[in-house]
Amino acid sequence: MKEIFNASQPTGLPPAPAALAAKVRTLTPSLTRSMQRVAEAVADNPAGCAALTVTGLAELTGTSEATVVRTARLLGYPGYRDLRLALAGLAAHQQSGRAPSVTADIAVDDPISEVVAKLAYDEQQTLADTAAGLDTVQLAAAVAAAATARRIDVYGVGASSLVGMDLAQKLLRIGLIAHAHADPHLAVTNAVQLRSGDVAIAITHSGSTGDVIEPLRVAFERGATTVAITGRPDGPVTQYADHVLTTSTARESELRPAAMSSRTSQLLVVDCLFIGVAQRTYETAAPALAASYEALAHRHTPRNAR
Amino acid sequence: MKEIFNASQPTGLPPAPAALAAKVRTLTPSLTRSMQRVAEAVADNPAGCAALTVTGLAELTGTSEATVVRTARLLGYPGYRDLRLALAGLAAHQQSGRAPSVTADIAVDDPISEVVAKLAYDEQQTLADTAAGLDTVQLAAAVAAAATARRIDVYGVGASSLVGMDLAQKLLRIGLIAHAHADPHLAVTNAVQLRSGDVAIAITHSGSTGDVIEPLRVAFERGATTVAITGRPDGPVTQYADHVLTTSTARESELRPAAMSSRTSQLLVVDCLFIGVAQRTYETAAPALAASYEALAHRHTPRNAR
DNA sequence: CGTATAACGAAAATATCTTTCAATATGTGA
DNA sequence: TCACATATTGAAAGATATTTTCGTTATACG
């Protein structure tokens, strides 16, 4: 067996400078056990790890040099040396940064004001991570496909279905033909109709939601351009995806289900996709948007209150 | 003859992080010619030098490895390796200094990477604004009402309907009885059923969406506790709201409809509401959340994909 | 002009990083 | 449950990079 971990990097992204923390979080779930230990140590204490040699870090994490190097590769660096440099950069970056006062998890007895602060902070973090980890090449490709598509189908179930509907709603507003399917059966039924020139978008945080993978597979086999928006760029869903857009995976806690931050992340991706498409179809998008405002105007009472 | 350059460091100062540039200037006059060349290169372009090996830097400056190492020592580092680390840190530091260039609006011809950065930044801003402007007293009151409610109805149309569904979905997950209504007629029909001890929540960015105000008014008159989530705390909807939760109103542009940032803001408020309720119903919420995970487990394929 | 000293670089010695490969663990299908 | 295939892992060999050594060349000073 050959170990070509570089191949797992879809497009040759240049290693991340301060986006390292994001990358670690995004990638952690798809790492093996010992690699996770290394990644954790690195994310936990960048400054400390930057001071260590491969051997040192291997000992600290109770693994081998080989594993450390492998982890560095997975993180997108050519080797440990480069990861170490990035780590030093990150450390300096953090140092200059602000006080990470609210990093703690939300507890059952947190006062409501604390909850607001922590949630806002977490979601901001999620946004930053997502933006940092988003592959703009893949995004551009997805945008190009969507902008010229005959029709666009969006698949998502559970929490992701709302994101799907949001995307479809917005695309409709700029005059594109888009549908969101939350019902797996109807999704497959519709996917069968797709062909080359159409676009299918699957949204699943886990990357392994059968109900979403199935319609994407059908669309893929019918020749449609397929896009996966997922937190697991190595998950089964990517088998049938021409373009993969990665969402960030923030830690979850008992009170804070993963759905919450994954939704934030997914929405940002979807927004980017939408804006990208709107740019490329500006001629028709702008008047369509204006028209939809116009149509809604009479639904608002003339704010006489107070 | 022995070369103990370390001895030239009077007091065992720890290597400088960002004070490197200063150190270089201070030390330059006392350096030999070739060492000056090295120091100059380093001060000139920290990022570039950080990417070079000893040999590389030696060649670049037309000197030898030994000289580079000697210079590193003079600068206060144990060796070149450490200088390089410091250089990487310095580079990252400098980079972070000039970051806030993304304040501008999204333009039609922005490259996709710019779009991602601007959107992420805007949404982060929206979150911060929302958290800052949220009245925790009102929020606490709304939470208390929802946590003990017999049933919870949520009204929202258009983009806000998705937020409403999100809230209802989550409340359902922790065992509460919640419904989201996007259909104005059904919403009113259901609102008639409410009475004291029930909670009705209206979500409208403009604060003047008749289709949402109407059911809230009905619920209000029936004696239910009513909550308005709106960007216009002076809008008509607040007439019938016992508690008003204010969302932030970010600027919108031609390509960036208001729906986008209002949605972000609304979701944060809804999340806070949810977490608050989950805290107060922890005894039942925690097992209910766990159970809902459990129920979904088999819907995921066992990640066999490479 | 000669000598002492400092500056410098080539190359050896060492440390560090990377790769290979075999052993072990893990999961999958009969 | 077992046998098989595949993935994960670390020890050690191999390759690079860094540091040290040491001899040569340059410079200063008497």
Residues A96, A159, single domain; the answer is no
A213 reaches B (C-beta below 8 A): yes
Exposed, middle or buried: residue B302 (CB in 10 Å: 0-12, 13-18, 19+)?
exposed
The reported pLDDT for the residue numbered B226 is 95
pLDDT of residue A20: 75
β-bridge pairing A152-155 and A199-204: parallel
A258 touches chain B (CB under 8 A): no
Closest residue (CA to C1') to nucleotide C9 in the complex: B64
- Most confident stretch, A187-196, B26-35, B88-97, B118-127: A187-196
How does DSSP classify residue A10? S
What is d(CA B71, CA B79) in angstroms, rounded to the nearest whole number? 9
3-class state of residue B148 by DSSP: coil
pLDDT of A162 reads 94
> Does residue B3 lie in a domain region?
no
Contacts with A56 from chain B: Cβ below 8 Å: none
Residue B7 has pLDDT above 50, yes or no: no
Pairs of residues, one from chain A and one from chain B, whose beta carbons lie less than 8 Å apart: 211
* Interface test mutation site (partner A, options B20, B112, B238, B248, max chain A beta carbons within 10 A): B112
Closest-CA residue in chain A for B89?
A89
The yes-or-no verdict on residue B97 having pLDDT over 60 is no
Sorting pLDDT into bands at 50, 70 and 90, what band is B300? low
pLDDT at B83: 92
**Assigned domain for B300 exists:** no
* Cβ of A53 near strand C (distance < 7 A): yes
Contacts of B26 by beta carbon, 8 Å cutoff, 6+ apart = none
On chain D, which bases lie within 7 A of the protein's CB atoms? Answer: 6-13, 16-23
Question: Angle at Cα B268 formed by Cα B103 and Cα A130, nearest 5°?
Answer: 55
Inter-chain touch B127–A124, beta carbons under 8 Å: yes
Task: Kindly tell me if the per-residue pLDDT of B271 is higher than 60.
Answer: yes
Q: Are residues B144 and B279 in the same domain?
A: yes
Question: Is the Cβ pair B92, A88 closer than 8 Å?
Answer: yes
Contacts of B203 (CB under 8 A, 6+ apart): B154, B155, B156, B160, B163, B164, B167, B212, B228, B229, B230, B266, B270
Burial class of residue A137, CB neighbours in 10 A (0-12, 13-18, 19+): middle
One domain for residues A160 and A274: yes
**Pair A145, A196: CB distance under 8 Å:** no
Average pLDDT in the A246-258 region? 70
The reported pLDDT for the residue numbered A7 is 33
For the CA of A210 and the C1' of D1, the distance in angstroms is 30
Give SS3 for A179: strand
Measured CA angle at B195 (ends B191, B199), to 5 deg = 70
Q: Examine residue B114 and state whether it is found in any structural domain, yes or no.
A: no
What's the rounded mean pLDDT across residues B7-34? 62
Q: What is the mean pLDDT of residues B75-79?
A: 88
Q: A118 falls in which pLDDT band (50, 70, 90)? A: confident
Comparing C-alpha atoms, which of A230, A235, A284 is closest to residue A258? A230
Decide which of A126 and A252 is more confident. Answer: A126
Same domain, A150 and A265: yes
The percentage of residues in chain A with a pLDDT greater than 70, rounded to a whole number, is: 82
Write a three-state SS string for B212-268: HHHHHHHHHHCCCEEEEEECCCCCHHHHHCCEEEECCCCCCCCCCCHHHHHHHHHHH
Assess if residue A130 is contained within a domain: no
Give me the pLDDT at residue A304, please. Answer: 45
pTM comes to 0.77
Structure-token pair, residue B299: 């819907």
Query: Beta-carbon neighbour count of residue B135 at 10 Å?
Result: 14
Band the pLDDT of A76: cuts 50, 70, 90.
Answer: confident
Assess A53–B contact: CB distance below 8 Å, yes or no.
no
Among A90, A143, A257, beta carbon nearest to B112: A143
B295 exposure class (CB count in 10 Å sphere: 0-12, 13-18, 19+) = exposed
Check whether residue B172 and residue B278 sit in a common domain. yes
pLDDT score at B8? 36
Domain membership of residue B108 (yes or no) is: no
A97 and A149 co-located in one domain: no
Q: Are B187 and B211 in contact (CB under 8 A)?
A: yes
Report which of residues A139 and B287 the model is more confident about.
Answer: A139
Tens-place pLDDT, residues A2-61:
333 333 333 344 444 556 777 787 788 778 888 989 998 988 888 889 999 999 999 999
The mean pLDDT value of chain A amounts to 83
By C-alpha distance, the chain A residue nearest B239 is A305
Query: Which H or E element spans position B204?
Result: strand B199-204
Substitution target in A263, A271, A304 with the highest count of B β-carbons within 10 Å is: A271
pLDDT value of residue A276:
93
User: Which residues constitute the domain of residue B95?
Assistant: 17-101
Token output for B236: 């008509």
Reported as a pLDDT band with limits 50, 70 and 90, residue A248 is: confident
Q: Which value, to the nearest 10 degrees, does the dihedral of the CA atoms of residues B71, B74, B79, B83 take?
A: -80
Which A residues in the span 155-194 are in contact with B, Cβ-Cβ below 8 Å? Answer: 158-159, 162, 165-166, 169-170, 173
Asked if B230 is an interface residue toward chain A (Cβ–Cβ < 8 A), one would say no
The answer on pLDDT for A156 being more than 80 is yes
Q: What is the pLDDT of residue B207?
A: 85
> Among A45, A79, A101, where does a domain finish?
A101
Q: B95 to chain A: nearest residue by CA? A: A93
Average pLDDT over residues A275-286: 86
Residues of B in contact with A239 (CB under 8 A): 305
Q: Do A155 and A288 share a domain, yes or no?
A: yes
Q: Does residue B177 share a domain with residue B61?
A: no
Q: What is the CATH number of the domain that holds A162?
A: 3.40.50.10490
Span of A65-79, A83-97, A168-182 with lowest mean pLDDT: A83-97
Judge whether A109 lies within some domain: no
Say how far apart CA B32 and CA A14 lie, in whole Å: 37
**CATH label of the domain that carries residue B86:** 1.10.10.10
Q: d(Cα B220, Cα B201) in Å, to the nearest integer?
A: 10
Residue A254 has pLDDT above 80, yes or no: no
Residue of B110, B272, B286 lying closest to A119 (CB–CB): B272
Greatest Cα pair distance in chain A: 74
Give the tens place of pLDDT for each residue, B196-250: 889 999 999 888 888 999 999 999 999 999 999 998 888 888 989 999 999 987 6
Q: Both B95 and B154 in a single domain?
A: no
pLDDT reported for residue A11: 36
The reply to whether B64 Cβ lies less than 7 angstroms from strand C is: yes
Asked whether the predicted pLDDT for residue B17 surpasses 60, the reply is no
Q: What's the rounded Cα separation, in Å, for the pair A268 and B96?
A: 23
| Nearest-angstrom CA–CA distance, B213 and B144 | 22
Q: Provide the number of structural domains found in chain A.
A: 2
What strands lie across the sheet with A152-155, from one edge to the other?
A178-181, A152-155, A199-204, A225-230, A243-246
B247-257: pLDDT as tens digits:
987 666 656 66
A131 vs chain B: nearest CA distance in angstroms?
A: 6
β-bridge partners, A204: A230
Same domain, residue pair A159 and A259? yes
Within-domain flag for B37 = yes
Residue B23 makes CB contacts below 8 A (sequence gap 6+) with: B16, B75, B76
Contacts of B86 in chain A (CB under 8 A): 88
Whole-number distance in Å between B172 CA and C29 C1': 40
Contact between residue A138 and residue A269 where contact means Cβ atoms under 8 Å apart: no
Q: Are A48 and A90 in contact (CB under 8 A)?
A: no
Residues B36 and B144 in one domain: no
pLDDT of A283 above 90? no
Banded model confidence at residue A306, pLDDT cuts 50, 70, 90? very low
pLDDT tens digits along A174-210: 989 999 999 999 999 999 999 999 999 999 988 888 8
Give the whole-angstrom CA distance, residue B205 versus residue B187: 18
| Torsion sign across C-alpha atoms B220, B224, B225, B229 | negative
Q: Are residues B63 and B212 in the same domain?
A: no
The pLDDT of residue A1 is: 39
Residues sharing a CB contact under 8 Å with residue B33, sequence separation 6 or more, in sequence order: none
CA of A81 to C1' of C15 (A): 14
Contact B136 A112 (CB under 8 A): yes
Count of CB atoms within 10 A of residue B180's CB?
Answer: 23
Domain endpoint, select from A43, A77, A101 = A101
Which residue, of B40, B75, B101, is where some domain finishes? B101
Residue A105: pLDDT over 50? yes
pLDDT digits (tens, 9 = 90+) for B167-201: 999 999 888 999 999 999 999 999 999 988 899 99
The rounded radius of gyration (Å) of the Cα atoms in chain B is: 31
Phi, psi (degrees; rounded to nearest 5) at A234 = -110, 5
Q: Is residue A108 part of a domain?
A: no
Mean pLDDT of chain B: 82
Out of A40-49, A296-305, B31-40, B279-288, least confident range? A296-305
Q: Name which of A36-50, A259-273, B22-36, B52-66 the model is least confident about.
A: B22-36
Tell if the CB–CB gap between A120 and B127 is shorter than 8 Å: yes
E strand or H helix at B152: strand B152-155
